Amino acid sequence: MSHYKANLRDQEFNLFEANPITEYLESFGGMDEDTARMILREVERLAVGPWGESFVATDRYELKLVNGEVVLPDELKRSIDAYREAGWGRIAMPPELGGAGAPPSLTTATIELLCGSQPTAYFYAIGELMARVLFEEGTEEQQKIAHYMLDRNWGGTMVLTEPDAGSDVGAGTTKAVQLDGDMYAIEGVKRFITSGEFDYAENIIHLVLARPEGAGPGTKGLSLFMVPKFLINDDGSLGDRNGVYATNIEKKMGIKGSTTCELSFGADTPAYGWLVGSKHDGIRQMFRVIEHARMLIGTKSTATLSTGYLNALEYAKQRVQGPDLAQATDKTAPRVAIIRHPNVRRMLMIQKAYAEGLRALVMYTAWVQDQIMLHPDDQYLDALNDLLLPMVKGYSSEKAYELLAMSLQVFGGSGFTTDYPIEQYIRDSKIDTLYEGTTGIQAMDLFFRKIARDQGATLTRISAQIVEFVKGGGDEDVLSTERELLGKALDDVQGQIGVLVGHLMASMQEPTQIYKAGLHLDGLLESLSEVVIGWLLLRHAEIAAAKLPAATGDDVAFYEGKVASARFFVGHVLPGIATRRSEAEAENGGLMVLSDEAF
């Protein structure tokens, strides 16, 4: 049986009840609700079937770099074959690229299914994203190459990080020497390149940030280049091997079947690259990829926590051990399933609330992305998406990794073995807190770029929506207590932001005052994410409570669970925001004057 357990019912709730995409589905390729539901069911069938069958084998197989080549295990290739044959990589592509033009919300739901089942395999499919960016940013000739990438299943990579620069992308030294027009020679070494080398695809297109000779320092001096593994002839056939080679692959704690490479450009033979779109606009172009990748990682985190929780839930219902706590002194009392034990029940509800809460955050963000496509001139939607992405990527990845340990705890000692998938989930998910900017970087982005830079305008608008929700409900509102708690949490996070903005303003006169803000940015990311999730979960609970009286069958338990998880999250998680506010208000900066030797 597959390790993967999907939560299709909650996905459908997000898509068709909480954020009803049926109101505008026709605008995306004439799609309708029946088609959307069919897509979800079919992708789920793939995920629990041939796609996920390689999950364990891929983890146990040792990838090796031999003469610049990496051979993937046969099990993994069969999974990728099943995905390619089904054509699911095309559903999000615009019609001009042969796609169905599905909205981001539906696409995100399918990505959750695929990443929850076999994330390693999905990383070999991201060439589709690179093809789309190349098509939309590239020249007419590069648009042809984008078609080749999709039609012939070529790989694709995003190539930013350098050994000495790390997350400081602007410090990169890889250079581009102009040869003729848009053709350059690329010289340098990049590190941590996902899917940088593998034998499944006949060609790999690398999208590389490099600094043209004479360009200025920092990120503004970077340009984006298309660097193929094999050169491409005018008729689309493959030519000579280009001078880009994998010179090392990382040995990792998780996602072991994903080749994470060091790539060397132009070491022995020239590495030819072509300026993307004939314009030196590299960091903006690459950020299109980065933002997609951050959304992907937040979705992957959510997916892994969800299947971890559902595996733990199944085990808790089946594992019989110990008497009911209320009968603990009766030696003849029957043994019960561990889901009847208070502590196990508590752990399961924590996981349920977060799994549904993170999904709510991811799917609401995807809904915002739908609206951006429907209303491209609405600048608020772009700003709201920008505000939400650090939460999706940073908060989701941190909480998923943390709570997967709780999923394992439900299994007891059995969870520490390879008999169950949780230990691999934990190893595979840790990378999510590091990919595409660590959590600390996401927190800085949230505060400095997404809040301070626009003077809190976007945050003010979404806060106003939350305030309206807090004021909602009538005299018999079953969520009145939770609305009040949400309002208190919003006040606390606004107070927390006010303290940090104060330190930012003070730093204009005394630069070291910024340290006081810096010490609490991760805390701000947590607090703001929790308020947004609390609001979304209560919106879900309001819908569920209204539908409960007429519900039948499995829907009764589902809607009861939606109300319960929202109440639990608001009652047990949101009060922690007041503590973070108090900590920020009491900050004296002492940690930053402590000598390095004292650590």
- Enzyme catalytic residues: 436
Q: How far apart are CA 555 and CA 136, in angstroms?
A: 43
* Residue 320, beta-bridge partner list: 337
Q: Which residue has the tokens 């959510």?
A: 302
Q: Which residue has the tokens 């939460």?
A: 391
Q: How far apart are CA 370 and CA 366, in angstroms?
A: 6
Q: How far apart are CA 380 and CA 378, in angstroms?
A: 6
What's at 41, amino acid-wise?
A: R
Residue 6: other Cβ atoms inside 10 A: 23
CA distances 599 to 512, 520, 592, 596, Å, are: 20, 19, 11, 6
Q: How far apart are CA 289 and CA 189, in angstroms?
A: 20
Alpha helices in 65-212, H assignment, sequence order: 74-86, 104-117, 119-123, 127-137, 140-151
Find how far residue 372's CA is from the centre of its chain: 19
For every residue of 433-471, which 3-state class applies, written as one string? HCCCCCHHHHHHHHHHHHHHCCCCHHHHHHHHHHHHHHH
SS3 153: coil
SS3 187: strand
Burial of 302 (0-12, 13-18, 19+ CB in 10 A): buried
Q: Among 37, 28, 11, 44, which residue's Cα sits nearest to residue 369?
A: 28
Break the chain down into helix, strand, coil percent, rounded to 5.
Answer: 60, 10, 25
SS3 531: helix
Sign, CA torsion 67/72/74/77:
negative
For every residue of 114-147, which 3-state class applies, written as one string? HHHHCHHHHHCCCHHHHHHHHHHHCCHHHHHHHH
CB contact at 8 A, 55 and 78: no
- Token reading at 294: 């951050």
Q: How far apart are CA 42 and CA 91, in angstroms?
A: 12
CB contact at 8 A, 504 and 511: no
Q: How far apart are CA 304 and CA 427, in angstroms?
A: 11
CB contact at 8 A, 344 and 410: yes
